Chains A and B, each alone.
Chain A
Amino acid sequence: MKYSYNWLQKHIAEPLPSVQELEQKIIFHAFEVEEIETTQGDTVMEIKVLPDRAGDAFSHYGMAREISGLLGVALRPQETIERLFPEVTGELPLVIKTMLCNRYLAIKIEGVTVGESPEWLKNSLSSIGQKSINTVVDATNYVLNDLGQPTHAFDADKVVGPITVRMAEEGEMMVTLSDEEKILSATDVVIADDEGILAIAGVKGGKRAEVTSHTKNIILEIANFDAVSVRKTSRRLGLITDASKRFENTISPVLVPFAAVELARMVQNLATGHVIASHDQYQNKAVAREIIFTRADIARILGDTITEESIESVLTRYHYSYVKKDGAYYFSVPYYRADITGAHDMAEEIGRVVGYDTIATKTLPFVPVQEKNETDVKIQSIKKYLVHKGYCEVMNYSFRKKGDLYVSHAPKDKSALRTNLTDGIKESFEMNRLNAPLLGIREVKLFEVGTVFTNESESIHVALASKQGVDEYTLDEIINTYSVDTNDSSLLFAGEVFEAFRPWSSYPFIVRDVAVWLSEGDSAAQKSLHDVCVNFAREHTIMPTKLFDSFTKEGRTSYAYRFIFQSNDRTLTDDEVVRTLAPLLENIKTISGAELR
């Protein structure tokens, strides 16, 4: 999620440190900061919040709360609902027919003027990559990104009868705000009125009661829905929204009234109007949880250097409430930290804040018993055996076009699991045979060790490819066929320093053979020819050259050298190669007795 530095600052009572300092704090003690972008007058941080913390930190307030703990500075207090509408009693009927709705708070505001948002709000939203739509919709988006609570606004004059939270009927349809038709099933929770569905609970609003510039009266929804239910609906419909992402990560229903205050106040400030009714149905109450842990519980995970002082300093900095009794901490889990379930979670809380760099480095507390893994030994043995027989190892894809088993959502030509290694290694052999001049080997001989999959089972196979054809064995078959020694424990390698990889060109190569007649037995001329060719190859070709053919006839000996030309950035033409070769040929002609064949 994108977090605005200025927006975070609004929640923190003291000035934040520099962006760089803040970034370091966050990276080493909380989350990964993926990107930092400076915009006009603000800095936006892309912070990767993983599923364990998405319930509390997927909002500016939540992130500010984490930062205030990290820095040990105070957070500005949130307002409570009593301050906003202590005396609101107006009529706002609400019917909740499913326990998958944990809490539903509706607020009716009359006499709004829906218009363009002020600059500060437009800027806040644009800083985190969101478009401004109108004052009311912008207020809901602001609250979502500020507190992490999804909310929704309905045009009250388009709602017929009471707001009802119920299960959809199988096949019931709704047109979303983005004009998509969605067919619902009986396992989806929806918000409806007497005429049908108004919104898919926790996922997306509908078109029918959309707030537009003509809207005069609105109903605001600040609700909490079951995480698994929202997740299933959003996945099935392919509607992954800012709201569904918040709900599926389990946010607390305790958050609802805080968000209601902020949203109602913002709407009244931006679009005038006044609250005439509110209705809060809270049917699945959040249960306060307590976990008990000792220093020893933390030390058995983080190591013995963890002290009670460091545990308590973390608890204090985060304003966590706890009681210490007989050396045990009775820790009240804050409502927003559903992820904390035991001492192992507290070890993380304490370890990351204290800093993992403060933890010592030790060797294992026991001497492990080493056992041989037969499969691994066989694989290593056959690889060693085949390489010493002149075979070169390849690894191909496990995916093919056809097979017994297919995987879903894969490209058509790569959706089957290979049933053999033969098909793949044949292709490798053909490619390498054509490339043989580039490889500097006499004969292409390949092998692959890999897993194949049939309807019955998966098994490890070994395939060999050479000009004689392809042979494929199971791992055991080949070990037995070639009587491969599986007790040879010598290493394949031992502490070598390997040279860096030399990338190859993807353009075609051109081979030119140069054959020269010299007088038989003229070793001086032969050496000159050899030197000229080797030097030329070093300078102008991609492979070293060597004498690859010679024969003697009628008092003269023919010597043949092979040259391979290839460019890294284009396809070479024959003309270019002829021009490149010309000086070599001229040079050869100056050697005594030389004649080009």
Chain B
Amino acid sequence: MEQEVGTFHPLTITLESIKTIFAKQGFSVATGPELEDEWHNFDALNVSKDHPARDMQDTFWVKDRPGAVLRTHTSPVQIRYMETHQPPFAIIAPGKVFRNEATDATHEAQFHQIEGLVVGAGVTVEHLKGTLLAFFKEFFGPEAEVRLRPSFFPFVEPGFEVDVKVVKDGVEKWLEVLGAGMIHPNVFTAVGYDPKKVTGFAFGMGLDRLSKVMFEFPDIRVLYQGDLRLNQWDTK
């Protein structure tokens, strides 16, 4: 009897699509631990202990392990990568992250992010815009446009919210899908780079949210139920 082929989880499908597109722009993949220390998750990213910016993310602290934290974002992978590599480089870092917040149709205590980091001499906001536009044109279609709004993340300055215009069935819609910015000089200093010599940008997007747009999930909580009715997409 012919071997029946299994199915991938939709987040795997979305992630593979994203990785493939970034690979074409020369990006490598980087990974890091889910259980982090305070330095990589916060301090090195310019989020000091007694600053209100700490409250921007509700954190799961590990009991009886001072300083141990479930990573609240994939940004610590930036730090780990820079600690062990020299610019120029372009990476994306996908992975699971954790936030201690109430769950609903668009929020989960665990979800996945994809971090992007590009560092080198002469990297500017122009390259951030170009990189993201090229990505979204391939991911959402050639009509995609990218728009930056001012925002704040402690590890970048300037910081942006990035909206993407998608066209579905002839209807235009701006989606808020991504946070980004130019690497803060304090972050470069923390990893031993000279902020006078290099610049760079970082971006972070929610894989679950992009998957929700891609497959039109009404509720992201279906993603982690272990229910195979979720795997509706056949494998070749």
Contact = CB atoms under 8 A, between A and B. Distances in A.
Interface of A: 27-32, 50-54, 227-228, 231-232, 245, 248-249, 299-305, 342, 344-345, 347-348, 351-352, 356-357, 359-373, 375-376, 380, 383, 386-399, 405-410, 414, 417, 424-425, 427-428, 431-432, 435, 438-439, 441-447, 450-451, 453, 458, 491-494, 498-504
A492 B13 contact: yes
22 contacts: A32-B161, A231-B50, A356-B160, A359-B148, A360-B126, A373-B28, A383-B8, A388-B235, A392-B228, A395-B11, A395-B223, A405-B62, A407-B61, A427-B226, A428-B227, A451-B96, A453-B35, A458-B35, A491-B20, A492-B235, A500-B216, A501-B215
B39 interface: no
Contacts of A245: 52
A362 B130 contact: yes
A432 B227 contact: yes
Contacts of A432: 226-228
Contacts of B217: 501
Given A363-B130, A501-B232, A228 B50 contact: yes
A364 B130 contact: yes
Contacts of A458: 33-35
How large, as a class, is the contact surface on chain B?
Answer: 35 or more
Interface in B1-40: 3-13, 16-17, 20, 23, 25-31, 33-35
A425 B227 CA distance: 10
Given A366-B88, A366-B120, A396-B226, A498 B13 contact: yes
Contacts of A361: 126, 129-130, 133
Nearest to A439: B228
Contact of B149 (A28, A52, A395): A28
B98 interface: yes
Given A367-B26, A406-B63, A494-B20, A347 B182 contact: yes
A358 B56 CA distance: 29
A302 B129 CA distance: 11
B193 interface: no
Contacts of B16: 380, 491-493
Interface of B: 3-13, 16-17, 20, 23, 25-31, 33-35, 50-53, 55-56, 60-65, 68, 70, 88-90, 94, 96, 98, 100, 109-110, 118, 120-127, 129-131, 133-134, 147-152, 154, 157-161, 182, 184-185, 199, 214-218, 222-224, 226-233, 235-236
A432 B118 CA distance: 43
A439 B96 contact: no
B229 A439 contact: yes
Pairs of residues from A and B, 8 with the lowest C-beta to C-beta distance, nearest first: A428-B226, A348-B158, A368-B26, A356-B148, A50-B152, A368-B90, A303-B126, A407-B60
B227 A435 contact: yes
Given A32-B161, A409-B100, 15 more contacts: A28-B150, A352-B150, A361-B126, A364-B130, A365-B127, A369-B28, A373-B28, A387-B235, A395-B9, A397-B110, A405-B63, A424-B226, A431-B226, A441-B228, A501-B217
B98 to A, nearest CB: 7
A383 B6 CA distance: 10
A303 B125 contact: yes
B109 to A, nearest CB: 7
Contacts of B223: 395
Nearest to B9: A393
Nearest to A501: B215
Given A301-B124, A383-B12, A445 B6 contact: yes
A444 B228 contact: yes
A406 B52 contact: no
B129 A359 contact: yes
Nearest to A388: B5
A348 B6 contact: no
B23 A398 contact: no
Given A347-B158, A391-B6, A431-B226, A373 B96 contact: no
B158 A431 contact: no
Contact of A302 (B118, B124, B131, B218): B124
B133 A51 contact: no
Contact of A438 (B123, B152, B159, B229): B229
Contacts of A397: 109-110, 224
A248 B64 CA distance: 28
A390 B3 CA distance: 7
Contacts of A435: 227-229
Given A392-B231, A458-B33, A503-B218, A357 B147 contact: yes
A341 to B, nearest CB: 9
Contacts of A249: 52
A364 B26 contact: yes
Contacts of B65: 405
B50 A399 contact: no
Contacts of A451: 34, 96
B27 A370 contact: yes
